[in-house]
Amino acid sequence: MKSGKDYIVFPLDFPSFGQAEKYVKLLSDRVGMFKIGLELFIREGPEVIRKTRQLSSAGIFLDLKLHDISATVQRAVRSAAELEADLLTVHCASSIRMLEAAVGAGGDKTGILGVTLLTDNDAQTVRESGFSDAYWADPAALVMKRAEMACQAGCAGVVCSGNEVQAVKHRFGADFMAVTPGIRPAGGIGGEDDQKRVCTPGRAVTLGADLIVVGRPIRDAPDPEEAAKEIAAGIDAVIL
């Protein structure tokens, strides 16, 4: 049975693996997956996946948000699958053809997640990007449109905020993954926040999130391991 910690994805948002290594060792038994994003992957290259796997049995979520012509994305995903990344993100902002190419290249090795709308985007951002009134008046409509594309293309699921996760699960089914970033504890994190569409861990899971990305509330805590443990306990309280 899935436990609270299995829902937690910790992003290794560090400029080098030397800095990330501490958290991989510290949180190996406290989280379900480690997310490797652009900053660390560009600095360290594919070797960062091997290094992380040597230190932990947690899953690997490669968050590269690929967005290019279909053939280029297909080749990139094929390479990621050879690296044995468990999950890989691509942007739904492109065509369904690109999403289908990514899914085909990932095969049964790497699940493809479609990024619907970045969590630092709000209605004003959508409007400034040139979308029609229907989408900037209700950004969730844009998320659902892109989630529909991802589902039709055969993606394993989508990345969406807690605001949309319940609708995604209701419309596309329990097996279609919903991965939710922008997770913040009930009391917030203090200081300036780079996220606009946020949700608490317990609420995100209650709404149907399969994975929640929790970075700063763990990383910046006085005791990151204890913070992860408390978040997992809070999730256990709503799923048991």
- Residue 51 annotated in active site: no
Give the helix/strand (H/E) hosting 62.
strand 59-66
Q: Token pair 């306990």 is at which residue?
A: 233
**Contact between residue 117 and residue 139 where contact means Cβ atoms under 8 Å apart:** yes
Residue 232 CA to residue 32 CA, distance in Å, equals 10
Expressed in angstroms, the distance from the first to the final Cα of the chain is: 10
Q: Which two tokens stand for residue 239?
A: 């799923």
Query: Among the options 65, 109, 145, 196, which is catalytic?
Result: 65
Pairing between strand 177-180 and 111-115? unpaired
> Which residues are paired to 111 by β-bridges?
87
Choose among 62, 56, 67, 77: nearest CA to 5. Answer: 56
Residue 14 CA to residue 2 CA, distance in Å, equals 28
**CA distances in angstroms from 54 to 49, 64, 170, listed in the order given:** 9, 21, 38
Active site (catalytic) residues: 65
